[in-house]
Chains A and B, each alone.
Chain A
Amino acid sequence: MATAIGAMTHTEEDYGLWSWLTTVDHKRIGAVYTVAGFLFFLVGGLEAVAVRTQLAVPNGTVLDAESYNQFFTMHALTMIFLAIMPMGAGFFNYFIPLQIGARDVAFPRLNALSLWIFLGGGLLLNSSFFLGGAPNGGWFGYAPLSSIEYAKTSGMTFYVVGLLTLGVSTLIASLNFAVTIINMRAPGMSMMRLPVFIWMVLVVAFLLILSLPVLTVGLLQLYFDRVWGTSFFSPATGGDPILWQHIFWIFGHPEVYVLILPSMGIVSEVLPVMSKKPLFGYSAIVFAGAAIGVLGFGVWAHHMFTTGLGPVPQVVFSASTMAIGIPTGIKIFNWLGTMYGGNIRFVTATYFSVAFIAMFTIGGISGVMHASPPVDGHHQDSYFVVAHLHYVLFGGAIMGIFSGLFYWFPKMSGRMLDEGLGKITFWLMFVGMNLTFFPMHFLGLAGMPRRIYRYDADLGWETWNMVATLGSYTIALSVFIFLINVIKTMRKDKDAGDDPWGGATLEWATSSPPPAHDFDVIPEVRDRDPLWHDRDHGIARAAVPEHNHIHMPPPSYFPLIVALGALLLAVGSMTHLSVLGLGVVICIYGVWGWALEPTD
């Protein structure tokens, strides 16, 4: 059977279902990641709209307390783990090999494995809605909100098992990306010639590689608490709920940078191309990104100032948190410096990038406010924090991802997205997000706590809550118009050409969409902006040899089998040992077949 698969050719024309299930092509995997991430983005968005509808007027009746808890928890989990990270992973998959001049990632089959485990984990987490209730203790799952005493439904067990599954997928993908970037670069592509996007992916990969295992341990302990009756986090028998908070935020704060750094990378790609100028201060922006990554491991307890850390930890974590503002500020000045004096083309991608800088700065500044423990004590668990994190994650991460979607859609599909509809999308989204999230600053300072499902009429919160809800509908409308744009674009002929933007990086040196083997000839890199360098120095692209036989790895169904085994393991850990055992057997069979499968 394995040889039969090996004999199957992976041609451009083969777009059957089986070819997608067995694909190891980083571009197809990236495309599935992006599409799946976007679908989950819609789901998470609908959850947010439901939450906002409930809060539009005092004492709303759309959701009851229990379903409200499930909706805000699943909104966060979906947006973080199933939307922003996978859409990022989609770009990583698609563009790492293209931007570093490789034919594929280092481990194509592991890449497929991480995709299938991600899809399984995402479906598993969302299936909880129909199987006794979704997670309802917040994405941070603080003990005792996550303990079996206070969360009796299986929701938080789904949380534990779902996040463990997604963690495995993310770890595999991150290891793969790190090795690819370190070891698969085209000749001449030194580390300091890597596109900034790739640098940010490398930082993100290491953040995940080094922080996910800590979350894994925390989740396993929570699993033992919930299923086997240990008391890691329950104080009555000697446990410590604060331990969970430490473990969670040792992962959770690097995770915040995992969400924002890819968008910083995208902006660093879009702005130079659209300003027709090389990036201002390349090394500064790279080192700032790496510094954010390293410092990101030393700030976790700023989420816990109100737990009584004691004066010394408060000072240390306050100082390290404020220190992160420095590299972030460097980046913002570098982006402004890139645009300064440039011949700027204001296309939709530029709009989103510029909005990213402005909105992220607002979120960043309110973040520095929280770094001060006395101030944080007032903000903690109020809507001010909701405003802050949405300026960073919506104004930052999502704006950056949309910038990337408009910038790279031509490369991925061969078609230009409609600019007119694109600008309508932008303005609706920009106005909508500010309408939604800016009033939350006022609400927070007026004392409105987070995560309450209704509030009384005489507290002075009605106006801004209504405005925020109308804003969220505006965002929904903008996403709807983006969908129309995509559908309309996919129905027209390919009109993008190889290089619609006059790009500087290697992905624009191949066709749109690229062939399965990415490059007919592996490019030689002579500069940080290789295409601009070659254009300015009159260096022609290397000629394609007449007999250009390029060997690409054959498709494989073993990643799918191992992922199925992993999913059964996850399901089994919530249901019955026999399912778990079956999962182990299938995993072992899959890994064995994987190891013996010929890849040449």
Chain B
Amino acid sequence: MSHEAHAAESHEEHPPTTIREYVMIGLVLTVVTIVELWASYNEPILGSLLVPALFIMSAFKFAVVVAMFMHLRFEHSLLWKLFSFGLVLGTAMILAMTLLFWNDATDAVGGPEFHTGSTLNEASKPGGAPAPAKH
């Protein structure tokens, strides 16, 4: 926050993007979405790279919309810092919570296997898929 008392010359100006460029960005976003769908439907091709690839593509879309459509790229750096603080904290929280619950023995408390399983970590998750991070 060192940009004190700058009379913002840039504030009154608009992002230097033209209608044509906006449409092109929309097109790029659509194409990425189609690639995402294709990847999701063809799981075996990407294998274990699928989930990282999907996250990278959605992060790309996220970044493009925020930077261009929300024109954060052309704004005072303060706004970027304020927003990214929340964004980073929110992402870190999702990550931390996922890790904390990664091998959560209490997940299976309601199921019958909990009482019969030999160790807590082996207590299988009844019904449904394994935890998301295990792919």
Contacts and interface: CB of A to CB of B under 8 A. Distances in A.
Interface of A: 182, 187-188, 190-191, 206, 209-210, 214, 235-238, 240, 242-243, 246, 250, 297, 301, 308-310, 313
Nearest to A234: B110
Q: State which size class the interface on B falls in.
A: 10 to 19
Top 5 A-B residue pairs of the complex, sorted by shortest distance between their CB atoms: A235-B109, A190-B4, A191-B1, A236-B110, A235-B110
A244 to B, nearest CB: 12
B99 to A, nearest CB: 8
A190 B110 contact: no
A291 to B, nearest CB: 14
A210 B85 contact: yes
A396 to B, nearest CB: 25
A301 B89 contact: no
A385 B54 CA distance: 46
B97 interface: yes
Interface stretch (B25-33, B39-47, B100-108): B100-108
B93 interface: yes
B5 interface: yes
Contacts of B93: 214, 250
A246 B97 contact: yes
B110 A313 contact: no
Interface in B58-108: 78, 85-86, 89, 93, 97, 100-101, 103-107
Contacts of B97: 246
Most chain-A Cβ atoms within 10 A of its Cβ — which of B1, B100, B105? B100
B100 A246 contact: yes
Interface of B: 1-2, 4-5, 78, 85-86, 89, 93, 97, 100-101, 103-107, 109-110
Given A236-B110, A243-B101, A301-B100, 15 more contacts: A182-B78, A190-B5, A191-B1, A206-B85, A210-B85, A235-B106, A235-B109, A235-B110, A237-B110, A238-B107, A242-B104, A242-B106, A308-B105, A309-B100, A310-B103
A237 B126 CA distance: 11
21 contacts: A182-B1, A187-B5, A188-B5, A191-B2, A191-B4, A210-B86, A214-B93, A235-B106, A236-B110, A238-B107, A238-B110, A240-B106, A242-B104, A243-B101, A246-B97, A297-B89, A301-B100, A308-B105, A309-B100, A310-B103, A313-B100
Contacts, number: 38
A191 B78 CA distance: 13
Contacts of A309: 100
A242 B97 CA distance: 11
A236 B112 CA distance: 11
Contacts of A187: 5
A74 to B, nearest CB: 30
Most chain-A Cβ atoms within 10 A of its Cβ — which of B78, B103, B110? B110
Nearest to B100: A313
A53 to B, nearest CB: 39
A210 B89 contact: yes
Nearest to A297: B89
Nearest to B109: A235
A310 B103 CA distance: 10
A309 B1 CA distance: 38
Contacts of B103: 310
A301 B104 CA distance: 15
Contacts of A214: 93
Nearest to B107: A240
Nearest to B2: A191
Nearest to A240: B106
A182 B76 CA distance: 13
A469 B118 CA distance: 50
A297 B4 CA distance: 28
Contacts of A313: 100
Contacts of B109: 235
A311 to B, nearest CB: 12
Nearest to A310: B103
B113 to A, nearest CB: 13
Nearest to A307: B106
Nearest to A193: B4
Nearest to A187: B5
A235 B100 CA distance: 17
A308 B104 CA distance: 10
A566 B100 CA distance: 36
Contacts of A188: 5
B3 to A, nearest CB: 10
A243 B100 CA distance: 10
Contacts of B5: 187-188, 190
A214 B97 CA distance: 12
Contacts of B78: 182
A126 B89 CA distance: 34
A146 B86 CA distance: 30
Nearest to A235: B109
Contacts of B101: 240, 243
Contacts of B1: 182, 191
B89 A240 contact: no
B33 to A, nearest CB: 27
Nearest to A250: B93
A238 B127 CA distance: 11
A310 B102 CA distance: 11
A214 B107 CA distance: 22
A297 B1 CA distance: 21
A221 to B, nearest CB: 13
A240 B85 contact: no
